[in-house]
Structure 1
């Protein structure tokens, strides 16, 4: 009896375990796929279908979710690696790959590990591109390196079911000796630019001063020239006015002299002025010599002799 009970208990335990396994497999056959995810299903070890977002029911013990892929864009760090530039300088380069799965089937069966393969291909492509550039250009041609890596990864990604959106280089680190030499070069270039800027400023200031002095001298010379022109014109106008007045006075005097009694009037005026001059000379202490005949007025006019003491 005990043996039969033990056998019945063992059978019940086995059936219970089988039932639990069945229940477990039944629950595992129900799949809720999140958004931007893809489940690759195999039926009896062979690819069957790809489950998109939503509710799905599989056949227990027959269907199995072999691969789960996240379709969102992901970032993969590319570890630092040593590269040699065209001028034989060793630099350490690392970067970041931005990629996403576009074909879950190819990402599952086209390659063993697409992430590892993308990292390795990015490193080898980076080494190849940097090997064609000088050290100075490696810092300037980051976009060229990134574009080349993306191009190569896109070609391989078509077979791997992935799409590489972009590749960014994070750091390009040269050796300490090269870094010190670059710093010295940068400092020398800055000093050269400072000296050049100072010399340019000094040159410009001297040019400005000379231009100011030149303009001042021109203005002064033009002012002096205009002053002299104005004075000359004033003198010419004065001379012209005096000559016109003298001519008019001579013409009027001639008219008066030619008129009847004009010569007598002229003689009387000359005699009056003559006596006034006598009075002025005598006041200054001068000796005046008079003609012998005081009544001969013609003799006065022609033989006046003044001697100063």
Structure 2
């Protein structure tokens, strides 16, 4: 058996890795850039390796031990089989399981308990566990899903900037600031959008929330529309009988005041983060599990 267990949390903005011994004792952590295997698989592979090497270096372990380690990777964009196969064939580990990043978030937030998590970050995806069975909602990717995500917020902001520039919608302090960033050039915005990845749009999300706090009308409308979409999904989850719900991800604390009140008996604080969840699954030996249609195990 492999000497070490590796957990990977690969999102649309950054990739984090942790290495533990076979008993789950954490030895080291590492971090690198985005690891969305659907939008940019080659870069995702580079960042997975960089984060893993950084974790082994922090632990004082030789990098050669990576090839004998067992890993669980929670990766954004894992719901396309071709992307999973491409990544799986090129991983440096002895054995690995690739699952959705929300699956490791669920394990980190709830341990082995039943409940659900809403992962709100560059993308959005939801995961439910009931009587040991795991299912998912959303997570269909930026082009046709990820409603309420940071990427969608950023994309919506650029749309509003262009509408304001053309005199179709009123401008605001936020739209003027972003337009100035692009040199007051719609062509520059179009060129940016042509090659932009979700993380490129998602970087605007914090400024949208900041602008909303300053009563910017465009920002407020964008967040209200996004929060409505999130609330729709949370309602669908609760309708399934879920009584414990954790909000996780970088935008979770920013969204919380904008979401419908459901009481402390429904919303719960996560026990731990997604990276902790990935390590826990690796220690458990989750290398043949299937989580709904969103996960694929690799032997």
Please, what TM-score do these two structures have when normalized by structure 1? 0.17
Q: Which has the higher contact order (CA 8 A, sep 6+)?
A: 2
Structure with more of its chain in helix, by fraction: 1
Larger radius of gyration: 1
